[in-house]
């Protein structure tokens, strides 16, 4: 599968909803009810980060059991991460930054990659390799909506998913930009709600986030 086909798949995932939840999951048994709550609330694309030992089992369970979910893997740092996530059933991968080895591995993998950048130079380097859809991370500390908006004119080919420091309160600042298709955020699956199994509460957070689709430029 060539880079352009994979970029089209990334774009389709980014357009599913205004928000891609960034999930840190400590107990894989929470994965399926959490994902069902998100899908029921109108948020089908879910990024499960590789920050806990339960992550791959969570991805495997969501991929196998949750109809309508498009489960991806986050915090991908190495070729090994990419391969393990693909084997677990992930449909897309997200990295906080990039390295030559990771990009080489992504070219050999069927798993579409949404690579992270924090500067215009990094964005230009990825554009040279065929990447038109990028993660802007950490969005708020790196310059926020003002910086991302300033890139729209000199880098018109690129569309972003800003992540890092984004909440329901400031998401619209990013989603109103012409070069933003969606945002990533951890506020939809807070640790306390996961721990106590508050799936109705997570579904409500998802419903609120899904309404942001009307803000997307």
pLDDT in tens, 166-207: 999 999 999 999 999 999 999 999 999 999 999 999 999 999
Percent of the chain scoring above 70 in pLDDT? 100
Third-level CATH fold of 3-215: TIM Barrel (3.20.20)
Where does the pLDDT of residue 216 fall: very low under 50, low under 70, confident under 90, or very high at 90 and above? confident
Indicate the length of the chain as a whole number. Answer: 217
Give me the pLDDT at residue 108, please. 93
14-to-3, 122, 183 alpha-carbon distances in Å: 16, 20, 9
Q: Where are the domains of the chain?
A: 3-215
Q: How do residues 119-146 score in pLDDT, each as one tens digit?
A: 999 999 999 999 999 999 999 999 999 9
Of 1, 13, 9, 4, nearest to 47 (Cα)? 13
Q: Which residue numbers are catalytic? A: 47, 135
Angle at 10 between CA 6 and CA 15, to 5 degrees: 145
Joined together, the tokens standing for residue 50 give 């590789």
User: Is pLDDT at 4 greater than 90 in this prediction?
Assistant: yes
User: pTM higher than 0.85 for the full model?
Assistant: yes
Instruction: Provide CB contacts within 8 A for 185, sequence distance 6+.
Output: 19, 20, 21, 22, 163, 166, 167, 168, 171, 209
pLDDT tens-place string over residues 58-80: 999 999 999 999 999 999 999 99
Q: How far is CA 28 from CA 58, 196, 212, in A?
A: 5, 14, 29
Q: What is the pLDDT of residue 177?
A: 98
> Tokens for 176?
């109103």
Quick one: tokens of 189?
């699956």
28 confidence band (pLDDT: 50, 70, 90)? very high
* Contact criterion met (CB below 8 Å) for 53 and 25: no
Q: How many CB atoms are located within 10 Å of the residue 9 CB?
A: 18
Residue 65, pLDDT score: 98
Bridge partners of residue 45, in order along the sequence = 70
Over residues 45-56, mean pLDDT: 98
Prior bond to 32 cis, omega within 30? Answer: no
**pLDDT tens readout for residues 14-26:** 999 999 999 999 9
Two tokens, residue 199: 């799936």
Q: What is the pLDDT of residues 153-176, one digit of tens each?
A: 999 999 999 999 999 999 999 999
């Amino acid at each position: 599968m060539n880079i352009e086909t994979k970029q089209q798949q990334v774009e389709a995932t980014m357009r599913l909803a205004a928000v891609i939840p960034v999930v840190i999951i400590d107990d894989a048994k929470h994965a399926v009810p959490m994902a069902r709550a998100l899908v029921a609330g109108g948020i089908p694309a879910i990024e499960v980060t590789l920050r806990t030992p339960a992550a791959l089992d969570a991805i495997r369970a969501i991929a196998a059991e949750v109809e309508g979910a498009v489960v991806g893997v986050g915090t991908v740092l190495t070729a090994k991460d990419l391969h393990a996530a693909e084997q677990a059933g992930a449909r897309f991968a997200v990295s906080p930054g990039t390295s030559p080895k990771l990009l080489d591995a992504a070219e050999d993998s069927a798993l579409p990659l949404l690579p992270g950048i924090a500067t215009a130079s990094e964005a230009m380097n990825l554009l040279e390799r065929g990447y038109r859809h990028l993660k802007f991370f950490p969005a708020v500390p790196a310059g926020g909506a003002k910086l991302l908006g300033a890139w729209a004119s000199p880098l018109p080919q690129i569309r972003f998913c800003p992540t890092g420091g984004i909440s329901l309160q400031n998401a619209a600042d990013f989603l109103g930009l012409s070069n933003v298709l969606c945002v990533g955020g951890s506020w939809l699956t807070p640790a306390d709600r996961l721990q106590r199994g508050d799936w109705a509460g997570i579904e409500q957070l998802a419903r609120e986030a899904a309404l942001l689709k009307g803000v997307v430029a």
